[in-house]
Amino acid sequence: MSASRPLHFSKMHGAGNDFVVIDLRGGQPAPPAALVRTLGDRHFGVGFDQLLTIEDSHALDCVARYRIWNGDGSPAQQCGNGARCVAAWLRRDGAATGSRFRIDSPAGVIDVECLPDGRYSLGMGRPVFVPARVPFHAGGDAPVHELLVEGSPLRFGVASMGNPHAVVEVDNVDAAPVHRLGPALQARPEFPEGVNVGFAQVLARDRIRLRVFERGAGETLACGSGACAAVAVLVRQGRVDRAVQVELPGGTLAITWPADDAPITMAGPATFVFEGEFAVATP
């Protein structure tokens, strides 16, 4: 009979983008990829879009560090909805006190503000459009690029929010071929690290609708970094203003980019769903 040990976790979501959060502070090792895949299975495990691990930070001004793991066990670089959930988890834990604090992410330090209405506002850094830094192998630094995808020209903008994004503007996001063009664009060799693909419908200068097909996760109900990238790309193309409500399938995020040389801020909810324990087999 094999032995097992309980792994405590929190199930959370940010605008429908759902996570399992585990505490690895104190020097505990990162979970092996096989365990991540098992936890992420919605039939045989717990189920999540990403796993978040809370860890000790080496940055003295940060209350903790977190890392992000996709359902296939691969590491991810950034997740805005996950960062809000980490912030809420640390507040509940007592590690973060006061209305403002900093957390350490795979893409750098994030400034957190706890808003009076219970939402969290995060400084997500400045968007990067230089193709080589996205990374995207393109012929120039243009607001709009075009590639043949499945035999047809596809126009899109690119940006990095600490992870790579391509943003396709569509007339109707409900009818957008997200599950066909998303993986097809991800597989293009011009994106050597893959890419998160957003499909954006502009409703007004201050409001868009968005669906995102993520690397390692597929389509999720919300993508915080994708919302930031969509607004940044559309601002650069002159399609929207600098304060935009982004309607995602799981909820709405408020994205603000005050100026080209300023960081983007994202405000949205973070919700605790339940606490649980998962039996992990021990060798």
Domain assignments of the chain as residue spans, ordered by start: 4-125+270-281, 131-262
Backbone angles phi, psi at 20, to 5 degrees: -105, 130
Active-site residue, from 85, 114, 223, 228? 223
Residue 242 CB coordination number (10 Å): 17
Q: Report which of 133, 149, 226 is spatially closest to residue 189, judged by C-alpha positions.
A: 149
pLDDT single digits (tens) 203-222: 999 999 999 999 988 999 99
What fold characterizes domain 131-262? Diaminopimelate Epimerase; Chain A, domain 1 (3.10.310)
The answer on whether 150 is annotated among ligand-binding residues is no
Confidence at residue 213, expressed as pLDDT on a 0 to 100 scale: 97
Tokens standing for 18? 């759902």
Report the percentage of the chain scoring pLDDT > 90: 92
* CATH class of the domain defined by 4-125+270-281: alpha beta
Let me know the angle formed at the C-alpha of 270 by 16 and 60, rounded to the nearest 5 degrees.
Answer: 130
Average pLDDT rounded to a whole number, residues 168-190: 97
Confidence at residue 1, expressed as pLDDT on a 0 to 100 scale: 45
Distance of CA 255 to the CA centre of its chain: 14
Q: What is the mean pLDDT of the chain?
A: 95
Confidence at residue 2, expressed as pLDDT on a 0 to 100 scale: 56
pLDDT single digits (tens) 54-102: 999 999 999 999 999 999 999 998 899 999 999 999 999 999 999 999 9
The answer on whether 224 is annotated among ligand-binding residues is yes
Active-site residue, from 79, 85, 114, 228? 79
Confidence at residue 4, expressed as pLDDT on a 0 to 100 scale: 77
Given a cut of 70, whether residue 283 has pLDDT beyond it is no
Q: Is 223 a catalytic residue?
A: yes
pLDDT single digits (tens) 219-277: 999 999 999 999 999 999 999 999 999 999 999 999 999 999 999 999 999 999 999 99
The answer on whether 172 is annotated among ligand-binding residues is no
Q: 4-125+270-281 and 131-262: same fold?
A: yes
The answer on whether 70 is annotated among ligand-binding residues is yes
Residue 123 CB coordination number (10 Å): 18
The answer on whether 80 is annotated among ligand-binding residues is yes
Average pLDDT rounded to a whole number, residues 160-179: 97
What is the SS3 assignment for 272?
Answer: strand
Average pLDDT rounded to a whole number, residues 133-147: 92
Given a cut of 90, whether residue 191 has pLDDT beyond it is yes
